[in-house]
Structure 1
C-alpha cells in the first residue's frame, strides 16, 4: 500500500511539472507573436513612407514588376531605412515634393489615370476616342463623318500598329475601317501587313484582322490568307487566333484557299509546298497513292492532340476529321473513334461534323456507341431539332442492337418532348423515321442514300426489321397518347397532319382512344364561316379545313388497306347520319363522303346512302365538283 501511495505522489508531481512547462511555453509563444507583429508593423510603416515618397513613374514601374523583383526592392529599401534610422527625439525629414499629389490619398480610379498617363500615345488615344464617340453614332451625318475620318487619318498615320494592341484605341481603328473608303483601309493595312500573324494572336489586335477580312479588297484578303500558311495547326490551338482562322475559313476563303489551309494537317511538306490544282485530299491521294498511309498517320497524330472542347468545335477540324474517316484504315479509325467518342456531341451540329458522328456510330464498338449515347443525355431534343444533328439520331436508330439501352437513354428522353419535335421540321423527320423508316414520301433520296452507307457496318448484328419493330414498340404508346391529348392542334396543322396519319398507320397497340379524339372533332356542328375574316382557319370545321380533311381521307383509306373498317365505322357512329348529310353542302365534305363509299364497310355504305337520300335535290343543284362525284357514287 505504501509503495502504491509513493507511486501516485510521484506521478502527480510529474503531471504538475508538465503543466508548468506547457504554461511557460505558451507564454513564450505569445511574447514571440507580439514581437513578430510589432516588427511587421514597423516594416509596413517603412514601406508606406517609402511608397509615398516615390514618383508616379516609379509607382507605375513597380506595379509592372514581378513579385520577386518587388520583394528584392523592398528588402533593399528596408535595410537602407534601418541604417538611416534617426536618433531618439528627432523626426525624420520628409523628402516629399509638396507639388506632387500623395498617391496614398488617391482613389483607385485616380491611380488608374496616373498609370495611363505614363504610357505612350496616351494623349493620342484620348483625342482619337473623343472623335470616335461622334463617328460611331448613327445620327452622325455623312459630311461630319467624312470630316472626322480625315482628321483621324492624319492623327493615327504611322501609329496604327501601336494603337491596335490596346483595348480602347483598337475600337477607333475598327471604326475607321468600317466607315472609311478604300484608300484609308489600304493605308492602314500597309502599315501592319507584315504583322498579321502576331496580330491574330492578340486579344485586341485580332479585331483589326477580322475587319480587314470583312471590308478589305480581294488582294488584301489573299495576303491575310497567305500569312497563315505554315502556322494553321498552331493557330487552331490558340485561343485568340482560332477565331480569326475559323472566320477566314468559313466566310471568306474560296475553294483553293480552304484546301491550302487544310493541307497543313496532311504533313509538314504540304505546309511548305503548295501544289496547283489540288482542291481536296482525294486529289492528293489520286495523284500520289503511295502517300496515303503516311498522310493518314500524320492526321491521326495531329487530330488526337486536338481532342479538346475548345479546339474540336471548329468546322475546319470537322472537315479534316471527315477526310480522315473516309481514307483511314480500320485500325486507325477505331483508335480515333475511341479518342473522340466523348466529344461527338460537340461536333454534330455542322455538315461535316454530323457525318463524322455518323461514322463513329456506324464503325464504333458497342462500348463506343454506349458512350456516345450517354453524352447525348439532356441534349436529345436539341439534336433531333438540328439540321444536321438529326442525321446522327437516324444513324443511331439504324445501328444500335441494344434497343433496351437505346430506349432508356435516348427514346425515353425523346418521348418526353414529343410536342417540341412535332413543331420542328427536323424533329418530325426523326419521328417519321421511327414510324415509316425510309419511305420516299417523307425522306429525300439523298438522305436515304446517306443512311444506307451504314447498313453494312461490321458491329451491328441484329436484323434490321427486328430492330425497327422493337424501337416501334417503345415509342408507339407515347405517340398515340400525344395524338389523343393534342388532336386539334395536330390535325389542323399542315406540317403535322402527315405525322398523324403515319402514327395511325404504323404504331402498334390500341388506337381506339386516339381515333375517338379525331372523331370527336368531326362530330362538331358544321357552321359556315367568312373565309376572308382573320383566324378563319382556326374556326373551320375539320371536314372543311385544308389539313383536317386530308387526315380524315387518309385514315379512311387506311381502313381499306388494312381490311379493317374501325375508323370509318367509329366516324359514322360518332358524327351521326344527320350531321354527315350536312357535309355534302361543301366540296371537301362531299369528297370525304365519296371516300367513305369507296373504302368503308357495307354497314358504312348503307348508313351514308340513307343519310344522303333527303339531300339528293340539294346535290343536283350544287355547282361544285365534289357534289357531282358524290351524286354519281350514290346512283
Structure 2
C-alpha cells in the first residue's frame, strides 16, 4: 500500500509532475520547470531550474552580476558547477579570486623609468631638467643681483641654439621669460635674434605665445617694426586663432598710429596684405577715390574676414572693434542689422571696455529691435555697476536710458543695481554721469562733446551709409557722395516714448529718486567737498531739468536743503581738520550756485526756497564772520539771487558790509577789473 502523498515528498512531487501536460516530444512545456518542485527541495535539477527562472534574483536598478549580493553570486556559481559549466569562465573575478597583497613599489626605479621614457620622447630632456633647476634658484626673491646675473648667463648658454624648442615647452617657456626679464641688454638682443625667425610659430603655441608678448614689450623701435613686418599678411589668420589673436592685440597696442592702420587695413582687401604704404586713413577716405566695383569688392572681402571671427566669439580685442566700426561705416543697413543681431547679447558686454567697442554697443542699442535690446539688457545683468564705472562702457547705459521704451525691464535690471551704490557712483568720474543724465540729459557742462556725438551717432555717417553702400552694390559711380540724414526722423524711429516721461518712470518706479535724495542728505558734506559729487548734489537740490526731482520727491528735496543748511550753520572751528563747507573751495561754489538759482527750487508758492532756509539758519546776523575768503562768494550771492524775498531780507545787512569795505561790491569789482586790464 502506498504512503500518503503528504508524508512522502518525492511521491507528491512525482504525482504533481505527472498531472502536468506534455508536448508531443514528451517534454514539459516552457515555463513549467519552476512550478514543478518546491523552493525547499534539494534536487539538483530543481535548483538549476529555479535559478534559471530568476526567483533568487532581486530586482535591482543595475542588473547583472554586479547587482547581486555575494551570497547570491556564490549560490549561482554552485548551480552552474552542478550543470557542468566551466567554473573559471563563470565565476566573477572580484568574488572568488584571492589576490595577494601588493608588493611595495620601488619609487626610485619608477622615477628612472619615467625619466627614460621622457628622454626618448623629448630630445632636450636633460637640458630642460638643468635649466628648470637653475630657474628655481633664479626666481628667488632674496637672491643677490650678481648671483642672478650669473645664473641667467648660465641658463641662456645651455639653451643657445635650442630656444625655439624650449619656448614650446610648458616649463622652459617660463624659464625663458624670466631670463628675458632679468637679462642684460645684449642678452635680450641675442634671444630676440634667435626667436625672431620663428615668431609666427611662437604666436600660435599655447606656451610660447607668452614669450612672444614679452618680446613685444621689450622690443625697441626697430625691433618692433621687424615683428610687425613678420605679422604683415597674417593678421586676419592670427585673429581667428585663440592665442594668436592675443599677440596681434598686444602688437596693436604697442604700434604707432600708422602701424595700427597697416594692421587694420589687411581686412580691407587682399592687396593690402601684399603691398604696403597704400593706406590713407579711414576706409571711407580710402574708398573716396575708388570706383564702385572696387568698393563692392572691399565690402565683400571685409564680410568674409569678419564673419569667422564673430562666429568664434573672439571679440575682446580692440583691433577687432576698430575693424567693425570701419566696416559698419560703409555697410548697408541690411548688413548693419546682421552685425547688430550677432552682437546683441553676451558678446556685446565683452566689447564695452574700448572706445570703439562702446560705439558698437551704442549702435546696437539705437539700431536694434525691441527683442535685441531686451537681449542686451539681460546680458548686462550682474555687470551694471562694473560697466557704469568703466571708462567707455557707461556710454551704453546712457544710450539704454535714452532710447529703450521698456522702462520696466530697465528698472528691473539696470536701475535696481545702480540704486545699491548711489554714493559710490556719485563720486566716480563715469558713474556720476549716469545720475546726471537722468536729471539733466545731454548738458555740455557735464558731458564731453565726443560722448554727446557718440550718443547721437555712434558710427560716423551711419544714417547715410545705407545710400552709399546700396549705390555701391548697384554700381553707381556717385556712391562716394555722403549726405547726412534727418536726426529728428531717426530719433522718432529709434524711440517712441517721450524722453521726460521715460526718465520720470525710471526715477519713480525703481525708487531711485527716493534713494538718491536719501544718499545726498546723508552724505551732504562728502558730496559738497567732492569735485565730482558736488554736481550730483547740486542737481538733486536744484530739482533737475524741468523739476523732475521736485515732482518725484518734493519732501526729499527739502531734506537735502535742510542737510546743506545745517552744515553751513555749524560754527567755524579752526581745531577741526575738516574744512567748513562755506570755506571749502568746491562746497562754497556749489552753495553759491544754489543760492543764485533758488527760485527754481520752489514746487509751489508756499514752499520755502533753499536761499531762504540757508539765510535763516546759517547767515542771518553772521554775515560779517563769512565775509572773507571763499565764503564771501556765498554771502554776495544773496544780493544777486533770483528769489526777490531773499534779496529783500538780505539787502540791508549785505549793503552795510559793502559800505564798510568788508565785502566787495559790484562797482569795486568793476574798478579792479579795469585796473587789471590797464
TM range (shorter): 0.7 to 0.9
Q: Give the structure 2 partner of residue 266 of structure 1.
A: 268
Q: Deviations over 1:388-424 (max 9, x none)?
A: 1122222223322444443444334333432232121
1:73-472 equivalences in 2 (<5 Å): 115-116=117-118, 119-137=122-140, 140-251=143-254, 253-289=255-291, 290-307=293-310, 311-342=314-345, 343-453=347-457, 455=487, 458=490, 460-461=492-493, 466-472=498-504
Q: Is the 8 A contact 2:388 2:430 kept in 1?
A: yes
* Counterpart-to-counterpart distance in 1, 2:437 and 2:623: 35
SS of residue matched to 1:305 = helix
CA change 1:365–1:41 in 2 (3 A) is same
SS in 1 for 2:158: helix
CA distance in 2, matches of 1:341, 1:462: 16
Aligned 8 A contact 1:255 1:279 in 2: no
Residue of structure 2 in register with 1:592 after alignment: 634
Shift of 1:387: 1.2
TM-score by length of 1: 0.76
Equivalent residue of 2:622, what SS? helix
User: Larger % of helix: which?
Assistant: 1
Unaligned runs of 5+ in 1: 1-5, 53-101, 631-635
* Deviation of 1:114 (Å): 5.6
Distance change (3 Å), C-alpha of 1:216 and 1:452: closer
1:551 aligns with 2:590: yes
- Of the structure 1 ranges 426-435 and 222-231, higher mean CA displacement relative to structure 2 is found in 222-231
Preserved CA contact (<8 Å) 2:128 2:172: yes
Matched positions, count: 562
- Conserved 8 A contact 2:205-2:243: yes
Assess if the C-alpha contact under 8 Å between 1:199 and 1:205 holds in 2: yes
CA distance 1:433–1:566, change in 2 (3 Å): farther
Asked whether the 8 Å contact 1:480–1:514 carries over to 2, the reply is yes
| Paired residues of 2:597 and 2:642 also in contact (CA < 8 A) | no
Contact 1:358–1:392 (Cα < 8 Å) also in 2: yes
What's 2:622 paired with?
Answer: 582
Match of 1:58 in 2: none
Describe the superposition over 1:236-286 as per-residue Cα deviations: whole angstroms up to 9, x where unpaired: 2322222222211122x2334333332333344443344534444234323
Q: Which residue of 1 aligns with 2:578?
A: 536
Call closer, same or farther: CA 1:545–1:242 in 2, change over 3 Å. same
Secondary structure, aligned partner of 1:312: coil
The answer as to 2:543 corresponding to 1:505 is yes
CA distance, structure 2, for counterparts of residue 273 and residue 590 of structure 1: 68
Partner Cα separation in structure 2 for residue 467 and residue 396 of structure 1: 12
Structure 1, residues 302-350: CA drift from partner, whole Å, max 9, x if none?
3232225851111121111111111101111111111111121111111
Residue 479 (structure 1) aligns with? 516
Distance 1:236 1:628, change over 3 A: same
Quote the Cα distance in structure 2 between the aligned partners of 1:374 and 1:265: 32
| Deviating more after overlay: 562-571 vs 212-221 | 562-571
Q: What whole-Å deviation, never above 9, does each CA across 1:53-88 have from its counterpart, x for those lacking one?
A: xxxxxxxxxxxxxxxxxxxxxxxxxxxxxxxxxxxx
Q: Hey, what's the Cα distance between the residues in 1 that align with 2:298 and 2:494?
A: 35
Q: Secondary structure at the match of 1:544?
A: coil
Where does residue 491 of structure 1 map in the other structure?
Answer: 528
8 Å CA contact 1:565–1:600 kept in 2: the answer is no
> Is the Cα–Cα contact under 8 Å of residues 436 and 536 in structure 2 kept in the other structure?
yes
Aligned partner of 1:61 in structure 2 is none
Aligned partner of residue 325 in structure 1, secondary structure: helix
Distance 1:166 1:602, change over 3 A: closer
Q: CA deviation at 1:480?
A: 3.1
Cα distance in 2 for residues equivalent to 1:44 and 1:226? 70
**Residues 566, 618 of structure 2: 8 Å contact kept:** no
Q: What is the TM-score normalised by the length of structure 2?
A: 0.71
- 1:42-61 deviation line (CA, Å, top 9, x unaligned): 99999x99xx9xxxxxxxxx
C-alpha contact (below 8 Å) 1:556/1:567 kept by paired residues: no
Shift of 1:36: 5.8
Please give the alpha-carbon distance, in whole angstroms, between the structure 2 residues aligned to 1:445 and 1:164: 48
Query: What is the alpha-carbon distance in structure 2 between the residues aligned to residue 17 and residue 317 of structure 1?
Result: 82
The CA distance in 2 between the partners of 1:270 and 1:456, in whole Å, is: 39
Distance of 2:502 and 2:395 partners within structure 1:
20
Which has the larger displacement, 194-203 or 570-579? 570-579
Mean Cα deviation higher: 378-387 or 32-41: 32-41
Extract unaligned runs of 5+ from structure 2: 1-15, 22-30, 40-45, 57-63, 66-72, 81-86, 459-486, 508-512, 670-678
Tell me, in whole angstroms, the C-alpha distance in 1 between the residues paired with 2:436 and 2:285. 38
Structure 1 residues 352-390: Cα deviation after superposition (integer angstroms, max 9, x where no partner)? 111111221222222222222222222222222211112
> 1:529 & 1:608 partners in 2: Cα distance?
25
Q: Give RMSD over aligned pairs.
A: 4.2
Q: Which has the higher contact order (CA 8 A, sep 6+)?
A: 2
Deviations, residues 121-175 of structure 1 (Å, cap 9, x unaligned)? 3332333334334444455555444444443343222222222222222233223
Closer, same or farther in 2 for the Cα pair 1:529/1:562, shift >3 Å?
closer
Query: In 1, Cα distance between the equivalents of 2:619 and 2:280?
Result: 71
> How many angstroms apart in 2 are the aligned matches of 1:198 and 1:269?
24
Q: Which moved more, 1:263-272 or 1:383-392?
A: 263-272
Q: Aligned in 2, Cα 1:334/1:37: closer, same or farther, shift over 3 Å?
A: farther
Match of 2:510 in 1: none
Distance 1:188 1:315, change over 3 A: same
Q: Distance in 2 between matches of 1:184 and 1:592?
A: 66
